[in-house]
């Protein structure tokens, strides 16, 4: 009898282990892979505002010449409701800057954000937060000239500029290290990691701030003072609910 119970216990442990694997190994089909090594890698990408990209030493540099204006660079592919996106960044100007990722971006009626029926955008922030599109956005580096030293990462839901989470710091203000960003969206769950450190973990209930946003576009925004390197932008399907909150 003891042997039977021991075997049952081992089976339960094995099943528990498999469940943990299912929760943590959530990457499904690779949807998009771009090393961002050269100009050809940004064919089809759309820059809004006074931004420019240049390439050197295996990186894409994004900046605004003469700090002329804020800007957003959109990936040409639309992504599904559940995805895992990863990319690497490095700060080239630690005196001031702000980096944002927009995701699940669509028109207010679910149309493509590049639809001819929508007004054109020029990098002005309110066009993305209180304009003709919905999206989530996370500021994962925050040290702007008008609000220096903030550091804390913010998750907001738009349209409406609703601040839904601000707990952990993003990229350290004066870091010149290379940092790996991982963004996960599964239904209403949003997570962001910086170098495997969880910075954002929030669940949209679809009620308090309106319906859960589903698929859409991903874009990178910088304020005009910002100079960052980007590389290795990859997106997978998120095949299962991410691991439970700690």
pTM of the model: 0.88
Closest CA to 50 of 73, 29, 30: 73
pLDDT digits (tens, 9 = 90+) for 68-95: 999 999 999 999 999 999 999 999 999 9
**Tokens representing 180?**
């790996």
Are 162 and 156 contacting, i.e. CB atoms less than 8 angstroms apart?
Answer: yes
pLDDT digits (tens, 9 = 90+) for 179-206: 999 999 999 999 999 999 999 999 999 9
β-pair partners for 186:
189
* Residue 40: C-alpha distances to residues 45, 53, 64, 231 (Å): 10, 12, 20, 14
**Tokens representing 72?**
């957003």
**Tokens representing 11?**
């089976």
The class (CATH top level) of 28-238 is: mainly beta
pLDDT digits (tens, 9 = 90+) for 110-146: 999 999 999 999 999 999 999 999 999 999 999 988 8
Residue ranges covered by each domain of the chain: 28-238
**Coil, strand, or helix at residue 239?**
coil
- Cα–Cα distance for residue pair 226/63, rounded to 1 Å: 6
């Amino acid at each position: 009898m003891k042997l039977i119970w021991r075997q049952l216990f081992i089976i339960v442990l094995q099943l528990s282990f498999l469940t943990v694997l299912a929760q943590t190994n959530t990457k499904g089909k690779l949807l998009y892979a771009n090393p961002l090594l050269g100009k050809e890698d940004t064919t089809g990408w759309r820059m809004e505002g006074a931004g420019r990209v240049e390439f050197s030493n295996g990186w894409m540099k994004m900046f605004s010449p003469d700090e002329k204006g804020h800007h957003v660079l959109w990936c040409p592919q639309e992504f599904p409701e559940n995805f895992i996106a990863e990319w690497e960044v490095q700060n080239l100007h630690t005196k001031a800057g702000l980096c944002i990722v927009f995701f699940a971006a669509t028109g207010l009626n679910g149309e493509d954000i590049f639809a001819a029926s929508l007004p054109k955008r020029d990098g002005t922030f309110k066009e993305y937060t209180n304009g003709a599109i919905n999206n989530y956005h996370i500021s994962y580096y925050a040290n702007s000239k008008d609000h220096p030293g903030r550091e804390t990462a913010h998750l907001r839901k738009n349209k409406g500029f609703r601040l839904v989470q601000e707990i952990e710091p993003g990229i350290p203000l004066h870091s010149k290290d290379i940092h790996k960003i991982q963004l996960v969206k599964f239904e209403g769950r949003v997570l962001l990691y910086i170098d495997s450190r969880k910075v954002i973990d929030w669940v949209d209930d679809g009620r308090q701030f309106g319906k859960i946003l589903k698929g859409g576009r991903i874009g990178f925004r910088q304020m005009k003072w910002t100079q960052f390197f980007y590389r290795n932008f990859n997106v997978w399907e998120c095949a299962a609910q991410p691991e439970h909150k700690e």
